[in-house]
A and B are shown apart, each in its own frame.
Chain A
């Protein structure tokens, strides 16, 4: 007589709701939907720009509607989450070692944040803020 095997029932679609850290993992993964959608918006912008001044003005007008602002706020929240989660794993993704000296993870992370501030400031400067 064989024992009935124990089968743990885990939903393949809602498993990530079980624990806060699973939800944080999914939030990080889902950030790609917003980043992808924003890439699509930039593609539309470039196409409108290539169609001339009137098309471009229509596009920048559309960027100032409440719907657009709402989308950008959501996208910004997920993009910032992507940035922080991405930088925080850099010591594991690309550890730095010089001879015997292992560069501390905190320095690798801090260097990324510093670079991020410089790049962001450069973009803001170029846009005229």
Chain B
């Protein structure tokens, strides 16, 4: 029987969807609204504080998951949704969606290692 990549992408979709459901709203609120609307003090996201938060294995691990899981969830759902919008070139759609998620994953690892 031909091997399928479906279990891998589907488990990433499920894990990513759960992770995104729990953390993405509050992340968006902190990065995009709390700071701009003055709910957060300006020094909350100051450089030194962010580096302290991320320059340890736990911080790096959380930061990696915050990008990696929702990105692969979004990639898989976008691939499936493209079909609902009448796009039938699944090979191309798959390459674009999983390609973007791969680039995001590699860049995140790169940034976290350079920190």
**A residues adjacent to B (C-beta < 8 A):** 11-13, 16, 26, 29-30, 32-33, 35-36, 38-43, 45-47, 49-50, 52-53, 56-57, 60, 63-64, 68-69, 71-73, 75-76, 79-80, 82-83, 86-87, 93, 112, 115-116, 119-120, 123-124, 126-129
Q: Mark B83-111, 1 if CB is under 8 A from A, else 0.
A: 01110000000000000110010011011
Query: Are A40 and B104 in contact, CB atoms less than 8 angstroms apart?
Result: yes
In the complex, A46→B31 CA distance in Å? 12
Secondary structure class of chain B's binding surface, majority of residues: helix
Q: How many A-B residue pairs have CB under 8 A?
A: 164
Q: Inside 8 A of B110's CB, which chain A residues have their CB?
A: 47, 50
In the complex, A30→B35 CA distance in Å? 27
Q: Inside 8 A of A36's CB, which chain B residues have their CB?
A: 70-71, 74-75, 78, 100-101
Query: Are A39 and B104 in contact, CB atoms less than 8 angstroms apart?
Result: yes
Secondary structure class of chain A's binding surface, majority of residues: helix
In the complex, A12→B86 CA distance in Å? 5
Beyond the given pairs A16-B84, A82-B20, A120-B22, 18 more chain A to chain B contacts, judged by CB atoms under 8 angstroms and listed by A's residue number, are: A32-B73, A32-B77, A40-B100, A43-B107, A43-B111, A46-B67, A47-B107, A50-B110, A63-B36, A72-B32, A72-B36, A80-B25, A116-B22, A120-B23, A123-B23, A123-B27, A124-B30, A129-B40
